[in-house]
């Protein structure tokens, strides 16, 4: 039924929200949405989804050949999709509108070393407010792995769904045992947000994304929803091709929120039906004011407890404080300084790798992590 998932008192405000999205394209974060669709979680927490299977991440370093590393990267990547794109439905009942991070907002976390897999560290910084851009760095120094990326979105409305084009990319750098690095360019799939009419939005992935290794191996991943391939939602097909060839060396197929298999051997490729490991975050008392969970704590409490007046009061406080900061900066002729990242207008690694598969666009900007691997556990101590 239309509006089935919408509390009766919010039906008209949901209809207004849908109309405003339909006649609008660009930055959804700025639209006012009814309370039932608000999430108490900031977008700066989302990069943690990349590492909720730390064993699969660490396993990339243990693969012995270029081909096996490409397979390990693909396996880890596919296994992150369930967390990235379905976990709000599981935790909050449907896809929700995340808190829109402030400029300079920070999120730190780690996954502990268990059974010699090494500790994995996460550093996230909101590097732009308008449009929202989130930069992240995830590393496992003892395994010689570092993932650096940034995430932004362009949204439009089509056929009753929100279409989200993901802007940005991620580069995974793998230290090789003999010295040197292998790099993987990870491009991001297109999202369709369905179920809006019913007030219970969920994500389906569409089109194609790529993982291009500097070794030449390329994974091409095609996404389809209900009514395609197998007819099941969250379906994908992936092919791995060797350097300079378009003949598949490996083919995989399945659903990314459950299991997939190797089409030649019939063996299981990915299986995310087992529990994932959420990121470990330090206690609120130790946090800097700009760390997400501390910054948004009162807004988040209001949303969780259904006290929406309190939530919107607290949100206004944060927004006013931000506006004042921007005014002060302007008056002083100063601009906001990023803490952990440096913006560069074109990413040479992206350019080199995207060329190998004639990907688009040919160039992209990026945010480079300013510190070394070994510094990440201590970067938490940020200046006031």
CB of 134 or CB of 235, closer to ligand CLR = 134
Stretch that binds ligand CLR, among 92-100, 137-145, 173-181, 209-217 (CB under 6 A): 92-100
Q: Does 147 participate in binding ligand CLR (rule CB under 6 A)?
A: no
Binding mask 287-316 for ligand CLR (x = CB under 6 A): ------------------------------
95 binds ligand CLR (CB under 6 A): yes
Nearer to ligand CLR, 241 or 292 (CB): 292
Encoded one letter per residue, x for contact with ligand CLR by CB under 6 A and - for no contact, window 40-69 reads ------x--x--------------------
**Cβ-based neighbour number of residue 291 at 10 Å:** 23
**Integer Cα distance of 359 and 355 in angstroms:** 6
| Residues 184-213 within binding reach of ligand CLR (CB under 6 A) | 193, 201
Q: Which two tokens stand for residue 372?
A: 């070394």
**Rounded distance, CA 206 to CA 163, Å?**
10
Is position 25 an interface residue for ligand CLR (rule: CB under 6 A)?
Answer: no
Q: Give residues 323-342 in contact with ligand CLR (rule: CB under 6 A).
A: none
| Inter-CA distances, 222 with 188, 255, 265, Å | 11, 11, 20
Coil, strand or helix: which one is 338? Answer: coil
Separation CA 105–CA 100 (nearest Å): 10
With H, G, I as helix, E, B as strand and everything else as coil, classify residue 179. coil
Contact at 8 Å (CB) between 38 and 303? Answer: yes
Interaction between residue 28 and ligand CLR (CB under 6 A): yes
Asked whether 252 and 245 are in contact (CB, 8 A), the reply is no
Judged by CB under 6 A, which of 44, 79, 151, 366 binds ligand CLR?
Answer: 151
CA distance 297 to 318: 11
Is residue 84 near ligand CLR by the rule CB under 6 A? yes
d(CA 364, CA 332): 31
- CB of 44 closer than 8 Å to CB of 292: yes
- Smallest gap from Cβ 97 to ligand CLR, in A, equals 4
Q: Which two tokens stand for residue 261?
A: 């298999």
The stretch among 5-13, 95-103, 114-122, 343-351 that binds ligand CLR (CB under 6 A) is 95-103
Interacting residue ranges for ligand CLR, rule: CB under 6 A: 28-29, 37, 46, 49, 84-85, 95-98, 151, 153, 164, 166, 193, 201
């Amino acid at each position: 039924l239309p509006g089935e998932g919408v509390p009766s008192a919010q039906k008209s405000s949901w209809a207004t929200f849908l109309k405003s999205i339909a006649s609008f394209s660009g930055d959804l974060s700025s639209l006012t949405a009814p309370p039932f669709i608000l999430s108490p979680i900031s977008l700066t927490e989302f990069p943690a989804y990349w590492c909720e299977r730390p064993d699969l991440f660490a396993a990339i370093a243990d693969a012995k050949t270029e081909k096996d590393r490409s397979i390990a990267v693909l396996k880890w990547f596919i296994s992150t999709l369930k967390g990235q794109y379905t976990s709000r439905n599981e935790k909050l009942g449907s896809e929700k509108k995340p808190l829109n991070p402030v400029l300079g907002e920070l999120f730190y976390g780690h996954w502990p070393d268990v059974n010699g897999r090494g500790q994995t560290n996460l550093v996230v910084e909101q590097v732009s407010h308008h449009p929202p851009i989130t930069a992240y760095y995830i590393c496992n120094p003892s395994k010689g792995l570092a993932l650096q990326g940034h995430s932004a979105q362009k949204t439009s409305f089509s056929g009753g769904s929100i279409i989200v084009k993901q802007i940005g990319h991620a580069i995974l750098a793998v230290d090789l045992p003999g010295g040197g690095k292998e790099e993987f360019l990870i491009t991001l799939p297109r999202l369709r947000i369905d179920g809006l009419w019913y007030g219970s939005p969920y994500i389906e992935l569409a089109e194609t994304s790529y993982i291009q290794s500097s070794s030449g191996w390329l994974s091409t991943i095609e996404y389809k929803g209900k009514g395609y391939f197998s007819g099941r939602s969250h379906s994908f097909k992936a092919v791995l091709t060797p350097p300079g060839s378009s003949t598949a060396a490996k083919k995989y197929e399945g659903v990314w929120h459950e299991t997939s298999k190797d089409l030649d051997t019939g063996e299981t490729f990915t299986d995310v039906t087992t529990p994932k490991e959420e990121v470990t975050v330090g206690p609120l008392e130790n946090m800097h004011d700009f760390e997400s969970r501390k910054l948004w704590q009162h807004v988040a409490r209001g949303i969780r407890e259904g006290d929406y007046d309190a939530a919107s009061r607290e949100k206004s406080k944060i927004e006013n404080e931000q506006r004042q900061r921007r005014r002060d900066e302007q008056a002083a002729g100063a601009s906001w300084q990023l803490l952990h990242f440096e913006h560069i207008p074109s990413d040479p690694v992206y350019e080199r790798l995207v060329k190998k598969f004639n990907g688009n666009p040919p160039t992209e900007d990026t945010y480079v992590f300013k510190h070394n691997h070994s510094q990440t556990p201590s970067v938490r101590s940020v200046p006031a």
